[in-house]
Amino acid sequence: MPDSSVTVSQSGFKISQNAIQVLKPSNREVRFEGIAYSPSGNTLAVAASDRDTILFYRRQSDGRFEDQPYSFLSFDAGIKYPHDLSFTECDGYDLLAVAQRWSALTVFRRRHDADYFEREPVFEINGRKSRLNYSDGAAFVPPNSSHIAACNLRSNTVSFYEWTPGPSPTFKREPVFELKHESISSPDGLAFSSCGRWLAVANHGDQTVAIFERSAPGLPEYSAPPVVILSDESLQYPHSLCFIPDSDHLVVTNAGANYLSVYEPQNDVDKRTWNSSPVVKKVIGPDSFFKEINATNKMEGGPKGIACHDKNLAVCSPSHGVQIFSFDIA
């Protein structure tokens, strides 16, 4: 008898039917937009955009996260409409990059043996020379985090900034590379494969996902045009993405639909591509909550942030808070 607790695609991608844990916001006015796991997986950071706050949840010994955040960074730490988050680690520290919609990348740090991030940011990229313009997404570039990238909603670009690892990291305040192509349309999120070869961009403007290939190992440049553009009708205002490590399945959240979409990679004779249709469309929460919001704004109501660690996917949304699902690939 098939296991009714999981959704299984023909490709063998399996995701739990129900969330294995749900973290609710304090009230329905708290909008969860972005989410990220720390490198160890023991901390879950969530961007509550409308509250100018980042919330931190701690993993317990049983593997579940505490129901309430144990710490936060807010307006007094320079947080203003945080939209996306990205972690990396270096020289005994965890670093957290925050994409702030007012056109800034802000970086915080904590020691590996500490629970709390320092209240003062260690670095910030902003201003005219940064060329940040409504920066909605941020990610350290794998595999060695030698750069940080941000997508810019208004200029239709992805900007790359070089940084020097260390306890007090320093960044070049001007981008060393900008990816610009007609396939990038009001980009709302971005994600890199764990090897750094692939960059996926969620285009809110034309409701597509563009996947680019790195020009050469070690360089921040990615080649245009993209290797593939995902444009199936199930994409409804794609918001955030993540690659599944090892398999390179691509998970995309849809702010304008009540589901996330999973795309399977394919190896052609001379290139890597992804299926044009999702192998899984996973419904997120009751339709009633989604429809209440989506009826007044077709770009809202669905899942927003997405993050992966080990065999878990954490999804956040204004409607349902944080939902954590388990997954596997047969």
Per-residue pLDDT at 1 exceeds 50: no
3-state SS assignment for residue 192? strand
d(CA 66, CA 68): 6
Per-residue pLDDT at 79 exceeds 90: yes
d(CA 189, CA 43): 21
pLDDT tens digits along 297-314: 999 999 999 999 999 999
3-state SS assignment for residue 287? helix
* pTM for the predicted model, two decimal places: 0.94
pLDDT tens digits along 192-229: 999 999 999 999 999 999 999 999 988 899 999 999 99
| Domain harbouring 322, CATH code | 2.130.10.10
pLDDT at 7: 60
pLDDT at 2: 37
pLDDT tens digits along 167-185: 788 999 999 999 999 999 9
Cross-strand partners of 70: none
- Domain hosting residue 263, numbered range: 6-329
Cross-strand partners of 10: none
User: For the chain, how many structural domains are there in total?
Assistant: 1
Per-residue pLDDT at 19 exceeds 90: yes
Say if 104 falls within a structural domain: yes
Which of 178, 239, 176 has the alpha carbon at shortest distance from 207?
A: 239
Average pLDDT across the chain, whole number? 92
Contact predicate 143/151, CB 8 Å: no
Say if 1 falls within a structural domain: no
**Residue 6: pLDDT band by 50, 70, 90 thresholds?**
low
Burial class of residue 68 (count of CB atoms within 10 Å of its CB; 0-12, 13-18, 19+): exposed
Say if 228 falls within a structural domain: yes
Mean pLDDT of 274-283: 94
Task: Give me the percent of the chain exceeding a pLDDT of 90.
Answer: 82
d(CA 297, CA 300): 6
Mean pLDDT of 107-119: 94
Structure tokens at 230: 């995902």
Say if 230 falls within a structural domain: yes
pLDDT at 179: 98
Say if 224 falls within a structural domain: yes
Say if 105 falls within a structural domain: yes
Mean pLDDT of 123-130: 96
Say if 79 falls within a structural domain: yes
Per-residue pLDDT at 10 exceeds 60: no
Per-residue pLDDT at 161 exceeds 60: yes
d(CA 119, CA 78): 9
Which of 297, 204, 302, 214 has the alpha carbon at shortest distance from 258?
A: 302
Per-residue pLDDT at 119 exceeds 70: yes
pLDDT tens digits along 20-68: 999 998 777 788 999 999 999 999 999 999 999 999 999 999 999 999 9
